[in-house]
């Protein structure tokens, strides 16, 4: 399962793990089919010094959470994912994850929540939130837009809520407090959005004291967070920040209606982002008139212009992953994060992530990410960053594509010969969507897998049929993913038969069994 989550279309684009000695297509056992359409009655419609920040992109903090007699009740993680331009605005992408563990998950409830915040680079005021909530039978995906200038929040259902000036969410508030001097006696009130409830929280620096954590002994600053609303008076929290330039949250204690919860920092890592291309909003120089766009060596639909692509900036696809008889072992997402220019070249930044959840994490704890910068016309990659975390195994490899010399270059000096049109895992995912996809047609793709080996697949458009999905009943194109000699069926995919070409359902077989990816939510560009 882990191998497919890392780079399979599992994670990013059909790195297909066929077992050796597979049978020809005609005799290969079929995959689990997608659900049939529901009837209408039941269908549910830079660097720290450059900006004066105590943190930089790539910082990742992991906490063990204790509650009552449970020494390991949950796992909390915060990460400064990136600093760049997102949805047309400069800012930080911040992410918080919390997941119950051990006996708490088994006895009480299973929870896996993820909160992604896009915040202004100076004030850290949020302008967009993406929340994924998985708490037992309660599941919700929402996007909240903050209009700080007009003091308004807008929700998925198009409802709005008036906001106080300078309103934060809890993730951005934590980072906003980190950038304060935290002088003893300092006090300030902040407005925070909690669900659809605006709260006023008083933040006060109390005193310096020593804190001992798994990472060692710290001189720390204790900061109290106290809601002013009477009905939330029991929701008090304290955070101990390291008394240094980083102001790391070393420990967090919260008084909740069901008792005290304490989070202790167990791991702090920093991943360099300095080698990433910098995307600009405009080209450094005007491109010559009449220049032909780049084409893929094996063009799925001929040369592509921007208007013909079925995706654009801001699109995010979220998937639930099933394995064998287990209906939910992981989550995966694909995002068109940025669009702009690197030098004079128009590019997309694609990002994808896969993580194991629930009981699957006891078998293997997966949290993998891929980032790809690609030519916006040909979708040929110019740089790929692969970051794999599987249990104790951590791997980070970047590949730079030099199309003038037809080579992909790795940091260790390895040089890989590539033909024009060779893709990476992420650009493969988007190139299949961008293909013309006519029933009966066959398309060939060459790509580098997660280990930077040249691979190839053939994609045949079999037929159209209606299927059910979390998005409702959709007419879909059924694709067979084959070996290049077309003798072995590696996977099947159902892609919406419309202008969006949304991958609705994918099934593939690995040596660990069948994996199925079913679309859960789609965040559209707005």
Where is 491: in which H helix or E strand?
A: strand 489-496
- If you average pLDDT over every residue of the chain, what do you get? 81
Identify which has the larger pLDDT, 49 or 248: 248
Kindly report which listed range (82-96, 268-282, 311-325, 335-349) carries the lowest average pLDDT score: 268-282
Residue 231 per-residue DSSP state: G
SS3 62: strand
**362 confidence band (pLDDT: 50, 70, 90):** low
Kindly report which listed range (177-181, 352-356, 429-433) carries the lowest average pLDDT score: 352-356
SS3 425: helix
Give pLDDT, residue 191: 94
**pLDDT, average across residues 68-79:** 88
**280 confidence band (pLDDT: 50, 70, 90):** low
- pLDDT, one tens digit per residue, over 366-422 is 778 899 999 999 999 999 998 887 777 778 889 999 999 999 999 999 999 999 999
Listed ranges 207-216, 356-365, 430-439, 505-514; the one with the highest mean pLDDT = 430-439
Identify which has the larger pLDDT, 257 or 187: 187
Long-range CB contacts for residues 135-141, cutoff 8 Å, separation at least 24: 135/109, 135/110, 135/111, 136/109, 136/110, 136/111, 141/318, 141/520, 141/521
Q: Copy the structure tokens of residue 450.
A: 């997660």
**pLDDT, average across residues 494-520:** 91
Residue 221, beta-bridge partner list: 208, 241
Confidence check: pLDDT of 31 > 90:
no
Where is 321: in which H helix or E strand?
A: strand 316-323
Confidence check: pLDDT of 61 > 80:
yes
Confidence check: pLDDT of 49 > 50:
no
- Provide the percentage of residues in the chain whose pLDDT is more than 90: 46
Confidence check: pLDDT of 8 > 70:
no
**pLDDT, average across residues 73-87:** 86
Q: Copy the structure tokens of residue 480.
A: 């067979």
In total, the chain counts a number of residues equal to 526
Strand stretches in 87-137, DSSP E: 89-100, 111-119, 126-135
Confidence check: pLDDT of 50 > 70:
no
**The residue to which tokens 């980072």 are assigned:** 175
**pLDDT, average across residues 296-316:** 61
Give pLDDT, residue 142: 87
Give pLDDT, residue 512: 76
Confidence check: pLDDT of 226 > 70:
yes
Give pLDDT, residue 40: 46
- pLDDT, one tens digit per residue, over 96-137 is 999 888 777 767 777 888 899 999 998 999 999 998 888 777
């Amino acid at each position: 399962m882990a191998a497919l989550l890392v780079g399979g279309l599992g994670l990013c684009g059909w790195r297909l793990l066929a077992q050796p000695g597979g049978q020809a297509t005609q005799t290969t056992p079929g995959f689990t089919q997608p659900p049939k359409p529901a009837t209408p009655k039941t269908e549910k419609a830079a660097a720290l010094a450059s900006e004066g920040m105590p943190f930089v992109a790539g910082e990742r903090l992991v906490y063990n959470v204790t509650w009552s007699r449970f020494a390991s009740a949950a796992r909390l993680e915060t990460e400064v994912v990136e600093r760049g331009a997102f949805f047309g605005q400069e800012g930080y992408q911040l992410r918080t994850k919390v997941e119950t563990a051990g006996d708490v998950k088994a006895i009480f409830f299973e929870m896996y929540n993820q909160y992604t915040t896009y915040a202004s680079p100076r004030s850290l005021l949020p302008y967009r939130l993406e929340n994924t909530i998985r708490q037992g039978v309660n599941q919700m995906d929402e996007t909240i837009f903050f209009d700080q200038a007009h003091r308004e929040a807008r929700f998925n259902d198009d409802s709005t809520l008036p906001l106080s000036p300078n309103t934060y969410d809890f993730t951005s508030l934590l980072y906003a407090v980190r950038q304060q001097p935290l002088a003893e006696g300092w006090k300030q009130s902040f407005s925070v959005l909690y669900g659809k409830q605006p709260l006023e929280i008083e933040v006060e620096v109390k005193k310096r004291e020593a804190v001992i954590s798994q990472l060692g002994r710290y001189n720390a600053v204790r900061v109290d967070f106290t809601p002013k609303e009477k009905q939330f008076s029991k929701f008090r929290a304290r955070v101990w920040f390291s008394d240094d330039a980083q102001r790391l949250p070393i420990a967090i204690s919260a008084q909740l209606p069901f008792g005290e919860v304490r989070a202790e920092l167990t791991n702090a890592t920093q991943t360099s982002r300095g080698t990433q291309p910098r995307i600009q909003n405009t080209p450094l120089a005007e491109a010559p008139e009449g220049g032909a766009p780049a084409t893929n060596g094996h063009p799925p639909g001929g040369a592509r212009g921007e208007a013909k692509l079925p995706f654009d900036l801001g699109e995010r696809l979220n998937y639930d992953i099933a394995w064998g008889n287990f209906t939910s072992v992981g989550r995966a997402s694909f995002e068109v994060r940025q669009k702009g220019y690197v030098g004079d070249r128009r590019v997309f930044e694609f990002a994808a992530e896969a993580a194991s959840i629930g009981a699957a994490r006891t078998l293997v704890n997966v949290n993998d990410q891929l980032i790809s910068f690609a030519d916006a016309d040909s979708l040929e990659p110019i740089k790929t960053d692969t970051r794999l975390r599987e249990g104790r195994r951590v791997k980070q490899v970047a590949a730079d594509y030099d199309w003038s010399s037809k080579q992909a270059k790795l940091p260790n000096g390895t040089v890989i010969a590539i033909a024009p049109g060779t893709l990476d895992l992420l650009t493969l995912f988007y190139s299949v969507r961008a293909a013309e996809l006519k029933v009966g047609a066959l398309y060939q793709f060459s790509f580098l897998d997660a280990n930077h080996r040249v691979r190839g697949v053939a994609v045949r458009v079999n037929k159209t049929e209606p299927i059910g999905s979390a998005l409702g009943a959709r007419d879909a194109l059924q694709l067979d993913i084959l070996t290049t000699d077309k003798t072995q069926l590696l996977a099947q995919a159902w892609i919406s038969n419309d202008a969006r070409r949304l991958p609705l359902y994918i099934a593939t077989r690995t040596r660990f069994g069948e994996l199925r990816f079913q679309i859960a939510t789609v965040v559209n560009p707005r």
